């Protein structure tokens, strides 16, 4: 029940369309969470895990056909196709509603309709935005509790604001043929049916905080980005905040929770966010970021004491695991875990390596941010944190050096627009194929990328105080397929260089693609890196990069006349310089 008639009448209307057996308004209390957990334990949606070693941890096995986002079934519905852009699947709003409403007809019979009010961002922040998700999935409710500020406080703010994003979700019958994730940005509405998984079903995350919010952000002059936010405190006590955009499963959670290596004593890392940042210019034209989320839906495989002790310990209590394997002792298990042996795979079958991996490669943990020992107290600050640098990155075996710095904001926008990365298991489809993923937003921008780049460029007209822009690649490989860079905690060595550049404390090697570090400025003491590898990581081949810039140019031109001239000019002048250097 609510005093806001727009909300009450929407809930009533959805209920008469979907015909649930019961309606429950979620308050977000701990007792409610526990009650929902018990319910799911009794109906088999969840199972317990080893209570002694993993207190308050549960396992959910999703339908084997429902284990990742489904970009091919995700639509942005606008009157004009060009407003959604070539970067989105598009449908006319009337057609979208008609198609998906037919699937919602009566879909909640025998189920409970949960009304889930949530606030993305600190409850008292002017930058925060609210939404209400209606769902028939108890799993969604408990995930929303862990990952957002959900319940009575959010409802109060919604009643005060009078506006909210409407998200309608049903797991439907989980038939991939009847699965759609639709966005109606002009109506601030999301409708999702047929999936109970992650970004398809937890509508506050990608659907609201990225696709709908990016559309709102453009109208209102801010940015909604697929970025982690991390604070780096030096031994001298100086803290810098970085916002880093890497595509799905390319290292955001790990960088946000980084543990400084022994070689860098005295450094401290503070996590603000691991997936999404909302960025605003403040009254001093300083870019500031808040994390709209308050929990993590993180990749499990690869997490261990060596790669990320913080994350490893964080998920040993009060965590929901989705699609991991289990051991004989009923502990969760995944590829990359250093102890235990899987006996049951992610589908609940006796583990047999002939069936593939024990844990699904996109298996996930859901955990409240407060479980993170390095959670920054400023994550709750209504004004967010000032951003010193924006860092783009991707997963690229070849070509992209360890780090480089853009020469200007406009150049940085080109660097972001040209991001390419190998596809991962976070989306259904082929893995390991290099594709363009501008600003790591290919699956998440709620409007035409050409307009999005123009919006990014417009920040240079509004502030002379913008962060520097960098690009990193932790995933460069040797010809034998070994990573050239150790990654994880050692990435701090690179972040240090980035900060030193922001503070004008270190020189660099100017190349056509930007400023690269002089090899001696990346501290590699104690690392097992050959001089050849370091050379490969800190230099470029102008011939290969010329081909890359040409490919970026072709990609940009596919956006046609909406493409901002400034971006084309950046691409052309860098390509020309590379041509001269490589001839
Ligand atoms: P989403 O939640 O999908 O947005 O992913 P993410 O960007 O947060 O990626 P995450 O940090 O979960 O890392 C994804 C995978 O990459 C995991 O298997 C990690 O172990 C691995 N990984 C993360 N950082 C590094 C790194 O620096 N080097 C290497 N080699 N692997 C890494
Ligand atoms: C991603 O794919 O970028 C994720 C996971 O963060 S999901 O919530 O499923 O989108
Ligand atoms: Mn993500």
* Ligand nearest to C-alpha 472: 1
User: What band does 408 get if pLDDT is binned at 50, 70 and 90?
Assistant: very high
Give the other-Cβ count within 10 Å of 488's Cβ: 20
Q: Which of 202, 249, 303 to mutate to test the pocket of ligand 1 (most atoms within 8 A of CB)?
A: 249
- Phi, psi angles (nearest 5°) of residue 310: -60, -50
pLDDT for 232 equals 98
Residue 203 tokens read as 């509508």
Q: Provide, for the chain, the percentages of residues in helix, strand and coil under a 3-state DSSP scheme, each rounded to the nearest 5.
A: 35, 25, 40
Three-state DSSP state, 114 = strand
- Phi, psi angles (nearest 5°) of residue 543: -65, -50
Ligand 1 centroid to residue 506 C-alpha, Å: 29
Q: What is the distance between the alpha carbons of residues 192 and 143, in angstroms, rounded to a whole number?
A: 16
Q: How far is CA 351 from CA 191, 302, 347, in A?
A: 36, 19, 9
Mean pLDDT to the nearest integer, 147-162? 98
129, β-bridge pairs: 120
Q: What is the distance between the alpha carbons of residues 249 and 494, in angstroms, rounded to a whole number?
A: 20
The DSSP H or E segment spanning 287 is: strand 287-290
The DSSP H or E segment spanning 386 is: strand 385-386
Residue 246 tokens read as 């890497």
* Ligand nearest to C-alpha 202: 2
Name the residue with tokens 């994730």.
Answer: 181
User: What band does 384 get if pLDDT is binned at 50, 70 and 90?
Assistant: very high
Residue 251 tokens read as 């290292």
Q: What is the distance between the alpha carbons of residues 545 and 551, in angstroms, rounded to a whole number?
A: 10
Ligand 1 centroid to residue 432 C-alpha, Å: 14
pLDDT tens digits, one per residue of 218-232: 999 999 999 999 999
Q: Is the pLDDT of residue 489 over 90?
A: yes
Q: Is the pLDDT of residue 583 over 90?
A: no
Cβ-Cβ contacts under 8 Å for 29 (sequence gap 6 or more)? 151, 152
22, β-bridge pairs: 112
301 lines ligand 1 (CB under 6 A): yes
Residue 324 tokens read as 């991991």
User: What band does 396 get if pLDDT is binned at 50, 70 and 90?
Assistant: very high
Question: Residue 275's closest CA among 294, 301, 300?
Answer: 294
Alpha-helical regions (H) of 232-352:
252-256, 305-314
Atom 5 in ligand 2: residue holding the nearest Cα: 199
440 lines ligand 1 (CB under 6 A): no
Helix axes 565-582, 449-462, angle to 10 degrees: 90
Residue 71 tokens read as 């970009």
Ligand 3 centroid to residue 439 C-alpha, Å: 12
Q: What is the distance between the alpha carbons of residues 224 and 441, in angstroms, rounded to a whole number?
A: 10
331 lines ligand 2 (CB under 6 A): no
Eight-class DSSP state of 375: B
334 lines ligand 1 (CB under 6 A): no
**Are the C-beta atoms of 85 and 447 separated by less than 8 Å?**
yes
Q: Is the pLDDT of residue 59 over 90?
A: yes
Mean pLDDT to the nearest integer, 202-208? 98
**Are the C-beta atoms of 193 and 172 separated by less than 8 Å?**
yes
pLDDT tens digits, one per residue of 252-306: 999 999 999 999 999 999 999 999 999 999 999 999 999 999 999 999 999 999 9
What average pLDDT is seen over the chain? 98
Q: Is the pLDDT of residue 43 over 90?
A: yes
Q: What is the distance between the alpha carbons of residues 116 and 63, in angstroms, rounded to a whole number?
A: 23
Q: Which of 26, 107, 250, 542 is catalytic?
A: 250
442 lines ligand 2 (CB under 6 A): no
**Are the C-beta atoms of 442 and 435 separated by less than 8 Å?**
yes
199 lines ligand 2 (CB under 6 A): yes
Mean pLDDT to the nearest integer, 453-459? 98
Look up 107 and say whether it is catalytic: no
pLDDT for 497 equals 98
Q: What is the distance between the alpha carbons of residues 91 and 256, in angstroms, rounded to a whole number?
A: 36
Give the 3-state DSSP-derived string for 175-241, with helices as H, strands as E and coil as C. Answer: CHHHCEEEEEHHHCEEEEECCCCHHHHCCHHHHHHHHHHHHHHHHHCCEEECEEEEEEECCCCCEEE
User: What band does 73 get if pLDDT is binned at 50, 70 and 90?
Assistant: very high
486 lines ligand 1 (CB under 6 A): no
Q: What atom of ligand 2 comes closest to residue 202's alpha carbon?
A: 8
**Are the C-beta atoms of 421 and 247 separated by less than 8 Å?**
yes
Eight-class DSSP state of 69: B
pLDDT tens digits, one per residue of 89-135: 999 999 999 999 999 999 999 999 999 999 999 999 999 999 999 99
pLDDT tens digits, one per residue of 514-559: 999 999 999 999 999 999 999 999 999 999 999 999 999 999 999 9
Residue 374 tokens read as 């390095």
Q: What is the distance between the alpha carbons of residues 68 and 434, in angstroms, rounded to a whole number?
A: 19
Q: Within 13 A of 17's CA, how many CA atoms are on the CB side?
A: 18
Give burial (CB, 10 Å; 0-12/13-18/19+) of 318: middle
**Are the C-beta atoms of 462 and 478 separated by less than 8 Å?**
no
Q: Is the pLDDT of residue 485 over 90?
A: yes
Cβ-Cβ contacts under 8 Å for 527 (sequence gap 6 or more)? 486, 490
């Amino acid at each position: 029940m609510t005093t806001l008639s727009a909300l009450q009448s929407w809930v009533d209307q959805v209920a008469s369309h979907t015909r649930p057996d019961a309606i429950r308004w979620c308050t977000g209390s701990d007792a409610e969470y526990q009650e929902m957990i018990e319910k799911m334990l009794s109906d088999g949606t969840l199972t317990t895990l080893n209570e002694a070693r993993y207190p308050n941890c549960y396992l959910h096995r999703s339908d084997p056909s429902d284990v990742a986002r489904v970009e091919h079934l995700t639509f942005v519905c606008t009157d004009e196709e060009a407003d959604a852009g070539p970067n989105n699947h598009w449908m006319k709003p009337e057609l979208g509603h008609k198609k998906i409403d037919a699937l919602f007809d009566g879909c909640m019979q025998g189920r409970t309709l949960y009304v889930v009010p949530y606030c993305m961002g600190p409850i008292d922040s002017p930058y925060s935005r609210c939404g209400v998700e209606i769902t028939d999935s108890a799993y969604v409710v408990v995930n929303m509790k862990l990952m957002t500020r959900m319940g009575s406080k959010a409802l109060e703010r919604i009643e005060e604001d009078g506006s909210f994003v409407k998200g309608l979700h049903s797991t439907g019958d989980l038939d991939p043929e009847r699965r759609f994730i639709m966005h109606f940005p002009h109506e601030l509405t999301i409708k999702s049916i047929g999936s109970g998984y992650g970004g398809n079903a937890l509508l506050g995350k990608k659907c609201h905080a990225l696709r709908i919010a990016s559309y709102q952000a453009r109208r209102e002059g801010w940015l909604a980005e697929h970025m982690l936010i991390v604070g780096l405190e030096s031994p001298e006590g100086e803290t810098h905040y970085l916002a880093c955009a890497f595509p799905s499963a390319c290292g955001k959670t790990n960088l946000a929770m980084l543990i400084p290596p022994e070689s860098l004593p005295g450094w401290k890392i503070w996590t603000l966010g691991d997936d999404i940042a909302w960025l605003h210019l403040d009254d001093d034209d300083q870019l500031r970021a808040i994390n709209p989320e308050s929990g993590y839906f993180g990749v499990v495989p690869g997490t261990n004491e060596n790669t990320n002790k913080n994350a490893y310990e964080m998920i040993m209590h009060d965590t929901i695991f989705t699609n991991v394997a289990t051991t004989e002792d009923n502990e969760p298990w995944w590829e990359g875990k250093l102890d235990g042996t899987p006996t049951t795979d992610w589908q609940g079958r006796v583990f047999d390596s002939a069936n593939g991996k024990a844990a699904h490669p996109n298996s996930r943990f859901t955990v409240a941010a407060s479980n993170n020992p390095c959670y920054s107290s400023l994550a709750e600050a209504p004004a967010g944190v000032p951003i010193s640098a924006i860092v783009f990155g991707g997963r690229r075996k070849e070509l992209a050096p360890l780090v480089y710095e853009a020469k200007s904001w406009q150049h940085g926008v080109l660097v972001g627009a040209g991001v390419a990365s190998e596809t991962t298991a976070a989306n259904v489809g082929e893995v390991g194929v290099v594709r363009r993923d501008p600003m790591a937003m290919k699956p998440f921008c709620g409007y035409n990328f050409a307009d999005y780049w123009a919006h990014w460029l417009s920040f240079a007209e509004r502030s002379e105080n913008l962060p520097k822009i960098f690009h990193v690649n932790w995933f460069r490989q040797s010809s034998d397929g070994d990573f050239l860079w150790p990654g994880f905690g050692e990435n701090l060595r690179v972040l240090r260089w980035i900060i030193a550049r922001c503070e004008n404390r270190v020189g660099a090697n100017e190349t056509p693609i930007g400023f690269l570090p002089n090899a001696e400025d990346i501290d590699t003491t104690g690392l097992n890196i050959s001089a050849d590898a370091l050379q490969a990581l800190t230099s470029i081949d102008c011939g290969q990069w010329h081909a890359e810039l040409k490919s970026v140019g072709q990609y940009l031109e596919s956006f046609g006349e909406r493409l901002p001239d400034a971006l084309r000019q950046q691409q052309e002048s860098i390509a020309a310089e590379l041509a001269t250097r490589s001839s």
